Structure 1
């Protein structure tokens, strides 16, 4: 297994593309469809004696352009099978329009969050400046569901649906002993590792709420995904950005604890300010935001407010939220794991 890191100045930092090169050749994720990134991927493949035309299969962790953008182009050159979860398939095959290109969806979403007009316009301008060509050409996709088995690069992968960041985000579990040119992190004792896309990152917490506005109950879904990662107790995780994670269960539990702390902070903000919109809560949590974070901040705040509303801790009043239970049992709003109390997510970001 080889890792190719690609530049990314818009989202969560360098993207990771994984090459599985056994009896056949496959990729996990592809990078964004920008000319300079395409060249980086082509050069990275060439370093291993490969080209786009050699790719037999592509497994996508999710629909975001920095992970799926080049899938269609690779497929056009090689005829590769492109696999993606059924909930994200329509955004990869081009039959559905993402938020950054859908003005009606933008207006509805930004109004729901209470975003001021000037900030809406600023975000739309950002989308227009960065989104041209990001998603690349559509791909003919093969959709999978949770638990399905797919073969990529001669490696058997088990699809793990890990929604929250997107509706269809999925990881892929595999036996590291079956992967050519890959030394398991835990040596002979390693039996299971996973590609985790943006469900589990070594730095920062993946955005929930703004990254895919199609997800109902995004925070609850993501919390369950994190608990699932903890329970699987993988020997290592290979994320969609930056470096390998050698203690994925601990990292997942830390992010889960971080969301408990953030939920408490949201409750404090409402207690101090009175009823507030997602935009106003975002300002209290994150301050002034620029670029893509103008989307991610209020989206994250909305996901927490929505979670609290579903639990009866807050009530919706138009686009604002009013605190009705100032001292809820926040721990009870999240799944429990064997690592609860052993990690501290208070400073995680």
Structure 2
């Protein structure tokens, strides 16, 4: 297995594609985005190894976001490669109009529900239109959690990790005598994957993502090959850090409601993240919503229409532990 680093202008850092070519077939995990620069980089990396798009037999996608699946259609068009993705994401990757219309409709409902100001909505929509893929989309073979694929003698087991995206999946493998995992965006070495805004189809996004992270902690992998940047040598430690990070963020949401009084999601987002632009106009309130919704189900927050407030007695509890809960960076 070889890691191929592909440029990405987004904040998460360079994307990774993973090449399996030591055997009778050539396979990739993720492809990078659809930009011409990325295509040139991936073609060059394959060429250095005596390969081309036409030689790729199979592609395994971690999820539907364009920076991970963007070139799958072009590779499939040249090679006839079989493209695999979780069933929850297959229709979006295939460019199914009904699936995308349902996504856009739900996003627009949330824009109103979260209280995103109209000028910010316009900015976000313009960014999203300009970011839409214009390349060929693939035909996808769907998989489910627990399925296993053998690639040149290496078994890749699907581990579904919904939260950041409905179909986000990792691929567990035994490599070099170690238990390793290709984590996609479920586990990143620097940033914490957005939940709530990155895929508005996910119900209870924070609950599902925390469950996925606990699964990574329990698995205690030797190494994670991330969707962005460098590999992670302590996946369990990194997963636990992100769990703690989200606990800290929940405290900050409660503190915001305590200081501001009843308010909508956009107001909480502004308190947490400040001024937002481009895709962060979606990610900021999306993350805030994920926490507010989670806290509402836990009973510490009450929702009334589009506004949230602290449940009875929570303000007193916050005052009693003031100064003991601001340890993590956020």
Instruction: Give the TM-score range, shorter chain.
Output: over 0.9
Shift of 1:98: 6.9
1:95 aligns with 2:96: yes
Query: Are 1:143 and 2:137 matched, yes or no?
Result: no
Q: Is the counterpart of residue 36 in structure 1 residue 37 in structure 2?
A: yes
Trace 1:151-230 onto structure 2 (pairs within 5 A): 151-177=150-176, 190-230=177-217
5+ residue gaps, structure 2, are 319-325
Measured after TM superposition, the shift of residue 291 of structure 1 is 1.4
Q: What are the equivalent positions in structure 2 for 1:1-349 lying under 5 Å apart?
A: 1-10=1-10, 12-23=12-23, 24-96=25-97, 103-133=104-134, 136-177=135-176, 190-325=177-312, 326=314, 346-347=328-329, 349=330
RMSD of Structure 2 on Structure 1 (CA): 2.0
1:345 Cα deviation from its structure 2 partner: 7.6
Bigger Cα displacement from structure 2, 242-251 vs 104-113: 104-113
SS of 2:91's equivalent? helix
Matches of 1:126 and 1:298, distance apart in 2: 16
Cα offset, 1:105, TM superposition: 3.3
C-alpha distance 81-282 of structure 1, shift in aligned 2 (>3 A): same
> Given that residues 25 and 154 in structure 1 are in contact (C-alpha distance below 8 angstroms), is that contact kept between their aligned partners in structure 2?
no
The secondary structure found in structure 1 opposite 2:284 is helix
**Alpha-carbon separation, structure 2, partners of 1:156 and 1:25:** 14
The alpha-carbon distance between structure 1 residues 113 and 100, as it changes in their structure 2 partners (threshold 3 A), is farther
Structure 1 counterpart SS, 2:156 = strand
What SS is found at the alignment partner of 1:174? strand
Alpha-carbon distance change, 120 to 4 in structure 1, aligned in 2, over 3 angstroms? same
Distance of 1:139 and 1:223 partners within structure 2: 31
Given that 1:60 and 1:82 are in contact with CA atoms closer than 8 Å, whether structure 2 keeps it comes out as yes
After superposition, the Cα gap between the structure-2 partners of 1:99 and 1:254, relative to the gap in structure 1 and judged at 3 Å, is: farther
Give me the whole-angstrom Cα distance separating, in 2, the residues matched to 1:230 and 1:300: 22
SS of the aligned residue for 1:242 comes to coil
Change (3 A) 1:294 1:93: same
Structure 1 residues 9, 247: closer, same or farther in 2, change over 3 A? same
Residues 188-223 of structure 1 deviation map (CA, whole Å, 9 limit, x = unaligned): xx4310000000000010000000000000000000
Q: What secondary structure is seen at the aligned counterpart in 1 of 2:241?
A: helix
Per-residue Cα deviation, 1:58-85 (whole angstroms, up to 9, x for no partner): 0101110000111111111111111111
1:106 deviation in Å? Answer: 3.3
2:323 matched to which residue of 1? none
Q: Distance in 2 between matches of 1:40 and 1:280?
A: 41
1:154–1:39 distance in 2 versus 1, CA, 3 Å: farther
What is the CA–CA distance in structure 1 between the aligned matches of 2:221 and 2:316, rounded to whole Å?
33
